[in-house]
């Protein structure tokens, strides 16, 4: 490969990096939680308004008409409570019948028309479970996306397209779907946690998915749907998914559960207060005697740079006691205003922390759902007060300015040399002593000379005579 070919390849690699990274940076948002309810139950609304996500399903059937009035009423209740609505178009039509396909496209358009500005995300299909479905689903995804986006644009609404969910432990399904050129039509890929994975294993799995999305621009966001385990286990998996890089984590439910709804709403309201994920560090949950708690672990750390506030979510399954006796061990050296937040009841207790090795030990309690500890990092000796600093912009001289400067210096030097240069014709006269024998006598001649010089410029004429 020649040098020019290498430069061209590097240039196109740089452009590809901009194309891939720019959408990712532009789509950065605070972490979010949501409710992924099954089709058999209408989403329950918590006691307080919240901006968490909630899923509503619209099942397509060419045999029975869909109840759009009940659908709109449900959307309106969710919208008034502040929820961000995700509509799932389920019931894939018979792709061999053009009439079914036309009816499906009209069904998708009608869903967008009815939802209007209340719609945030539209999911095309519910789940992909086998490779045999990929070819037909890719065609359906493309045609539905084009129709839905056109309908939303006509009403001045921006929507995101969510493809059908994929099991998180089967990345080959998604790779085969990408080969069918669906990447430009998808904004979000939902991953179902269908196995009890957690901790480092979950972080590694999601990291591989995120790297794979960057290879198929525009890089879609990753959502996680926790679908296995108890409600507390699913809630813990959602928090670990946010720590691993997921944009949104949702809990799949099979019945209306106000307790779970309240936990989601309170947790989402807490993490959306200008917090950003931070490294978890060395964090351990132990009992009063220092032993391990079954299922106990730290889940997620968030940091607010404006207030220097830190949130640490942890899981400690067990009966809730009136006084906290278990301990959360952190590597932080200092903290103040430490609080224990019960996300299920909304209670907040002021607690203290003690030195433990090089870190701190915080008294915590157990519960059915994950809890959180909030504290403020104390000001250290290097924290300086804000100062008003004035800056002055400078620049280096250009090549033209440098050349012009040297030309000016050269002109001045040439002028001085021209003014003080002497021009003349010197005349020399030599006088020799009388003849003597050269073999026995050596003598030096006496020389006298004179020169008259004519000076150009203002210097007067001068002459010199020398005798030797």
Residues 325-376 have pLDDT tens digits of 899 999 888 888 899 999 988 889 998 888 888 889 999 999 999 999 999 9
User: Each residue of 232-256: pLDDT tens digit?
Assistant: 999 999 999 999 999 999 998 755 6
CA separation for the pair 252, 34 (Å, rounded): 9
Average pLDDT of every residue of the chain: 81
Please enumerate in sequence order all residues whose Cβ is within 8 A of that of 293, keeping only pairs 6 or more positions apart, or say none.
285, 286, 287, 316, 317, 318, 326, 366
Q: Which of 26-35, 143-152, 282-291, 425-434 has maximum average pLDDT?
A: 143-152
- Pairing relation of β-strands 326-330 and 359-364? antiparallel
CA nearest neighbour of 366 among 263, 271, 294: 294
CA dist 227 and 235 (Å) reads 10
pLDDT at position 48, please? 61
Q: What homologous superfamily does CATH list for 27-272?
A: Glycosidases (3.20.20.80)
Contact (CB, 8 A) for 394 and 367: no
Domain spans, the chain = 27-272, 283-376
- CA-CA distance, 55 to 70, in Å (whole number)? 15
In whole angstroms, give the CA distance from residue 343 to residue 456.
Answer: 99
With 90 as the cut, is the pLDDT of residue 190 above it? Answer: yes
CATH number corresponding to 283-376:
2.60.40
Rounded distance between C-alpha atoms, residue 297 and residue 315, angstroms: 5
Q: Which residues contact 234 (CB under 8 A, 6 or more apart)?
A: 226, 227, 228, 251, 252
- Give the ranges where 290-433 is alpha helix by DSSP (H): 399-419
Peptide bond into 218 cis (omega under 30): yes
DSSP letters for 1-20: --HHHHHHHHHHHHHHHHHH
């Amino acid at each position: 490969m020649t040098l020019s070919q290498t430069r061209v390849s590097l240039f196109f690699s740089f452009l590809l990096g901009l194309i891939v990274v720019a959408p990712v940076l532009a789509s950065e948002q605070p972490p979010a939680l949501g409710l992924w309810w099954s089709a058999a139950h209408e989403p329950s609304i918590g006691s307080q308004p919240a901006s968490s996500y909630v899923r509503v399903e619209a099942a397509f059937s060419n045999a029975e008409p869909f109840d759009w009035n009940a659908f709109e009423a449900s959307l309106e209740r969710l919208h008034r409570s502040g929820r961000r609505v995700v509509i799932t178009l389920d019931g894939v039509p018979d792709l061999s019948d053009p009439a079914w396909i036309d009816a499906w496209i009209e069904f998708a358009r009608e869903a967008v028309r009815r939802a209007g500005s209340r719609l945030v995300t539209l999911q095309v299909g519910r789940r992909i479970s086998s490779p045999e479905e990929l070819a037909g689903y890719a065609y359906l995804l493309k045609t539905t996306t084009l129709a839905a986006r056109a309908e939303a644009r006509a009403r001045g609404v921006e929507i995101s397209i969510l493809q059908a969910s994929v099991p998180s432990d089967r990345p080959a399904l998604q790779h085969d779907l990408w080969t069918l050129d669906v990447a430009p039509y998808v904004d979000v890929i939902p991953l179902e946690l269908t196995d009890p994975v957690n901790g480092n294993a979950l972080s590694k799995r999601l990291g591989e998915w995120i790297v794979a999305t960057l290879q198929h621009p525009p890089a879609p966001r990753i959502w996680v749907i926790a679908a296995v385990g108890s409600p507390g286990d699913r809630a813990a998996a959602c928090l670990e998914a946010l720590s691993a890089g997921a944009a949104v984590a949702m809990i799949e439910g099979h019945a209306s559960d106000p307790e779970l709804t309240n936990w989601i709403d309170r947790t989402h309201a807490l993490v959306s207060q200008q917090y950003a994920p931070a490294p978890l560090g060395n964090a351990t949950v132990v009992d009063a005697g220092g032993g391990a708690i079954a299922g106990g672990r730290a889940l997620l750390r968030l940091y607010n740079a404006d207030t220097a506030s830190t949130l640490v979510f942890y899981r400690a399954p067990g009966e809730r006691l009136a006084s906290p006796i278990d301990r959360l061990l952190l590597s932080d050296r200092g903290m103040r205003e430490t609080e224990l937040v019960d996300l299920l009841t909304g209670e907040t207790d002021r607690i203290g922390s003690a030195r433990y090795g090089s870190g701190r030990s915080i008294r915590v309690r157990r519960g059915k759902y994950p809890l959180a500890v909030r504290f403020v990092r104390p000001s250290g000796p290097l924290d300086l007060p804000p100062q008003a600093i004035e800056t002055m912009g400078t620049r280096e001289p250009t090549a033209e300015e440098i050349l012009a400067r040297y030309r000016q210096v050269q002109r001045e030097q040439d002028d001085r040399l021209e003014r003080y240069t002497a021009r003349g014709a010197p005349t020399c006269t030599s006088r020799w002593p009388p003849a003597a024998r050269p073999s026995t006598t050596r003598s030096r001649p006496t020389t006298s000379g004179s020169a008259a010089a004519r000076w150009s410029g203002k210097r007067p004429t001068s002459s010199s005579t020398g005798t030797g």
